[in-house]
Structure 1
Amino acid sequence: MKERQDHLIKILHSFTDNVIIKRRNALLRKQKPEDAPPLTEVDLDARKRAVLLDVLLQSAINGKPLTNADIREEVDTFIFGGHDTAATTVSFALYCLSRHPEVQSQAFQEICEVIGTDKNKPVTYKDLQNLKYLECIIKETLRLYPSGPVIGRQALEDSKIGEYSIPADTNIVVPIYFMLRNPSSFPDPDKFNPDRFLVDSVGKINPYCFIPFSAGPRHCIEQKYAMVEIKSLLSTILRYYELLSMGSEPRPIMNIVLRSTNGVHIGIKERKL
C-alpha cells in the first residue's frame, strides 16, 4: 500500500514539476529586464492579471526566489485540491437539478439563449460569464452542500465578538455547513431556491453569512476559477442530457471535503433538440 501511494504521489509531482519547469524556461527565454522597453499602462494592467504560476515564479522570500519544490506545493493545492471540491459541488448540483425540474428547465433555457442549441459549438469564457441563473444555482448548491463544510482559524490577538472574549492563540472552528442553513440569514433554509441569489435579492444577503469559499484574506484562492470550471461542466451536461429524479437522497458527512455516505443518485436521459 505504501509503495503504491509513493508511486502515485511521484506521478502527481512529476506532472506539476513538468508544468513548472516548462513555464520557468519560457520566462527565462523572454527579454531581460534591462533590455525591455518601459512598461505602458497596458503592460501594468497585464502584470496585475498575471497567472498564478508566473506570480510564484517571480516571487521571492527574504530575497531568495522560490524553489521548484516551494512552487509545487502551491500548484498542487490549486490543481488537485480544486478538482476534488469542484467535483463534489458538481455532483450535488446535478442532484439538486434532478429533484427540481422547473429549475433545470430554466437553466437549460438560459443555456440555449446564451450558447445556442448547437451542441458542437465551443463555449467561450464570455458565454460562461453570461450564465447568470446557472451561477445562482451553483451558489444555492454551495449553500446547502458546501464542499468545505468546516474550516479552522487561529486568533492572532485578543479579540471580542459581541459579549464573547477570544484570547490570542485560540483555535476556532467555523461551522460553515450550519451557518449556511441559518434561518435568520436564509429563510426556509432547507429549501433549494436559486432565486435568493438573483440580483434583486443578493443585496439582502450579508456577504459574511454566505461563505462557502471562506472570506477575508484567507478565502479560497480558487474561487473564481472554481465557478468557471463548475459552470463549464454543468452547462455541458445540461446541453446533452436531461436529469431525472432517481434513487435515494444523499446523506452528507462532514470531512475535509463534504461527502455523501450513500453516493449521489440521479438518472439521465439524452436530450433531443
Structure 2
Amino acid sequence: MMFEFGFNQQYSSGKTWAFFYLAVTTVIVIVVLHRLFKAFKKFQYFRSLPQDKNFSFLLGNIQNIPKDPEARINYGRSKMDNIDPKLNCMWMGPFDPVIVVYHPDTIKAILKSSAPKSRGFARIYEMLLPWIGEGLIVSNGNVWQRSRRLLTPAFHFDILKPYIEIDNKAADKLLKKLEPFATSGEALDIYPLLTLCTLEVILKCALSYDVDIQAKSHDPYAQSTRQLTEIFTIRTRTPWYWPTFIFKRTEVGQTFFQCCDFVHNMADEIIQKRKKELEKEENKPQKRHLDFIDILLMARDEDGKAMTTQEIRSEVDTFMFAGHDTTASGTMWFLYCLAKNPEYQIKVQEEVDALLDGRDSDHILWSDLPELPTLALCLKESMRLYPPVPFIQRELTEETVIDGHTIPKGTLASVSIIHLHVNPTVWEDRDVFRPERFKWEEAKKRDTFSYVPFSAGPRNCIGQHFAVDEIKVLTSRILRKFTLELVPERPPPVRFAQATLQSHNGMWLKLKHRTE
C-alpha cells in the first residue's frame, strides 16, 4: 500500500510538472508566434509603401545602391522621380526599414517635432558619441532641451560680431596661400586650404586657441580634429566598422580613440584654466572676444546650476565637429558655383567692389553683411544645389502620419535634403543655377520646408548664422582679389554625400588676379 501511495504521489507530481512544462511551452510558443505575426504584419506594411521593388530577403535593397558616390546620389534622385515624389521606404536589411522623405509635405511632419537623433547600431550619430559625447548634435530629450537653452546665448548677434574680425584675419592668411597659384596659373584643389582656414577660425572662436593653423598644419590639436573627422567619414561608409567592438580592434579605430583621448584631455585643460581665470573678477575677459568656453562657463540653469566640465567639453567638441567641415564644404561649393556661372561671379564682384572701394582695408565689417544681397542670393542657391549637410536622421518617438501613411513609433526617418532641394514638384528648372528664385516675390510662394540647408523646426542648426557669416566673409575676400575659373582638363567634381557634402575627386580651380 505504501508503494502504491508513493507511486501515485510520484505520478501525480510528475503529472503536475508535465502540465507546468506544457503550460510554459505553450505561453512561449504563443508569445513567439505573436511577435512573429507582428513582425510579419510590420514587414507587410512597410513593403506596401513606395520603394524599389528589387528586394533581397538577406540584404533588403541596400545592395541596389551604387558604389560610385555620384551614382549613389542619383539613385536616390531616380526613386524620387520614378517611384514617389514625396517618400520611399529603404531597407537596410530584411527587417530594418528606413523612411526617406524629400518633399515639404513629408519632412515637416518630422522636423516640426523634437524627434530624437537616431541612435543604435549602424546609426551615424552613435558613431560620434566617443568623440562629442552628449553634445547638442547627438543628445536627446531633457539633455538636449537643457543644452539648447544654455547654448542659445552663445550664438546671439552680440557674441557673433567680434568673430567677423577673426574670419577676416584667417582670410588674410588664406589669400597669401592662394597668391602663388594666381601668379603661376597653376590649378589647385582649394578644399584642403579652406578646411585649414575654417578650422583655424573655429579654434579661435571656440577656445581662443591662438595658433597659426594655416601655417602650422601639424599642430597636434588641429591634426587630431582632422583625423577624427576623416575616420568618422570612413567608418560611416564601411559596414564592417559599424560594430564598435570590431572597430576598436582595428588600426584605424585605435587611432580614432587615441585622438578622442587627446582632444578630450586638451579641452579639459583649457576649460579648467579658463574656469580659474573667470573665478578671479579682475581676470574676466574684457579686451578679447568672449569665446564659446567663456559663454558655457558662465551659463546657468534657472536654479543657478552650472554646466559640468564634461558637458562643456562635449559641446566644445560638437562645435569643433559641426563648425569647420560644414563651413569649408559650403564655401567650396559656393566658389564652384560662381566659377561655373561667371555672369553671377561678376555681379558679386561688382557688389563687393562697390562696398569696399575707397577703404583702407578690404576687411568685411559686421555692418557690411546686409549690404551684400546678390552674394546672399547666390549663396542660398549654392546651398540649394549643394547643401553642406546632405541628409539628417531622426527616430520617430510616436506613431506619425506621413503623406497618409501611418508610420510606427521607433521607425528611422532620413530627411534627404539633397533631394528635397531638387524635387521637381517644388523647384522649376531644378538643376539651373538661378539665384533670383530666392527673391522675396518668388520665395514667399514656396513652402518654408522646401529649403532647409540647416534643417528646420526646434532642432535646426543653432550655429547657422555663424557659418553663413564666415562663408560670406571668406568668399567676399577671395572674389575681391581673384577671378575663379574651372579647370577644363579636369573632370567635374564628383559629389560624395557623407556627414558633409564632399567632392570625391577634389575641387580644382584656377585663380587669376583681378588686375589682369
Per the TM superposition, whether the score is higher than 0.5 is yes
- The farther-off stretch of 171-180 and 63-72 is 63-72
The one of 359, 367, 377 equivalent to 1:126 is 367
Deviation at 1:203, TM superposition (A): 1.3
C-alpha distance in structure 2 between counterparts of 1:115 and 1:23, whole Å: 38
Aligned match for 2:493, one of 243, 250, 257: 250
SS of match in other structure, 2:413: strand
In terms of mean alpha carbon deviation, does 53-62 or 216-225 score higher?
A: 53-62
1:145 aligned residue (386, 394, 411): 386
**Structure 1 residue 152, shift from structure 2 partner:** 0.5
Q: Distance in 2 between matches of 1:119 and 1:248?
A: 40
1:29 aligns with 2:246: no
Q: How many residues are treated as equivalent by the alignment?
A: 255
Q: 1:228 aligns with which of 464, 469, 491?
A: 469
After TM superposition, the structure 1 = structure 2 runs for residues 99-248 of structure 1, keeping only pairs within 5 Å, are 99-116=340-357, 120-246=361-487, 247-248=490-491
Give the CA deviation at 1:96. Answer: 0.8
* Residue number in structure 1 paired with 2:271: 20
Cα distance in 2 for residues equivalent to 1:180 and 1:118: 39
**Does the residue aligned with 2:350 lie in a helix, a strand or coil?**
helix
Deviation at 1:26, TM superposition (A): 4.8
Counterparts in 2 of 1:223 and 1:19: CA distance versus 1, 3 Å: farther
Distance 2:358 2:400 in 1: 55
Larger Rg: 2
What does residue range 89-104 of structure 1 map to in structure 2 within 5 Å? 89-104=330-345
Equivalent AA in structure 2 for residue 265 of structure 1: W
Partner of 2:211: none
**Separation in 2, partners of 1:14, 1:111:** 43
Residue 255 of structure 1 aligns with an amino acid whose one-letter code is Q
- Kindly state the Cα deviation for residue 235 of structure 1 after the two structures are TM-superposed: 0.5
Q: Identify the range of structure 1 (101-110 vs 202-211) with the bigger mean alpha-carbon deviation.
A: 202-211
Encode CA deviations 1:18-42: one digit per residue, 9 max, x unaligned: 55345534543349xxxxxxxxxxx
Q: 1 CA distance for matches of 2:335 and 2:308?
A: 40
Residue 56 of structure 1 aligns with which residue? 296
* Equivalent residues of 2:362, 2:477 under 8 A apart: no
CA distance in 2 between counterparts of 1:263 and 1:10 reads: 30
Q: Report how far residue 162 of structure 1 moved.
A: 3.2
User: Alpha-carbon deviation of 1:9?
Assistant: 4.1
- Structure 1 range deviating more: 246-255 or 82-91: 246-255
Q: TM-score, normalised by structure 2?
A: 0.46
SS at match of 2:449: coil
**Offset at 1:135?**
1.3
Counterpart Cα distance in 1 of 2:360 and 2:447: 38
Matched residue SS, 1:108: helix
Letter in 2 for 1:190: D
TM-score by length of 1: 0.83
Match of 1:271 in 2: 514
How big is the shift at 1:55? 5.0
Does the CA contact (< 8 Å) of 1:140 and 1:192 recur in 2?
yes
One-letter identity of the residue aligned with 1:108: Q
* Pairwise CA RMSD: 2.7
Q: Could you tell me which runs of 5 or more consecutive residues in structure 1 were left unpaired when the two chains were aligned.
A: 32-49
Structure 1 position 257, deviation (Å):
1.2
Which structure: greater helix fraction?
2
CA contact (8 A) 1:243 1:267 kept: yes
- Structure 1: how far apart are the matches of 2:402 and 2:322? 32
- Sort the Cα spacing of 1:78 and 1:138 in 2 relative to 1 into closer, same or farther, 3 A: same
Do the aligned residues in 1 keep the contact of 2:483 with 2:514 (CA within 8 Å)? Answer: yes
Deviations 1:144-184 (A, max 9, x none): 11111111011222221331112222211111110000122
Q: Is the 8 A contact 1:97 1:104 kept in 2?
A: yes
Identity value in percent: 35
Please, which moves more after superposition, 65-74 or 115-124? 115-124
In the TM superposition, residue 14 of structure 1 has moved relative to its aligned partner by: 5.3
Cα distance change, pair 108–54 in 1 and its aligned pair in 2 (3 A) = same
Distance 1:261 1:94 in 2: 16
CA distance in 2 between partners of 1:263 and 1:133 (Å): 27
Q: Quick one: distance in 1 between partners of 2:458 and 2:504? A: 33
Cα distance, 1:205 vs structure 2: 2.7
Mean CA deviation greater in 103-112 or 205-214: 205-214
Instruction: Check conservation: 1:242, 1:269, Cα contact below 8 A.
Output: yes
* Aligned-partner SS, 1:65: coil
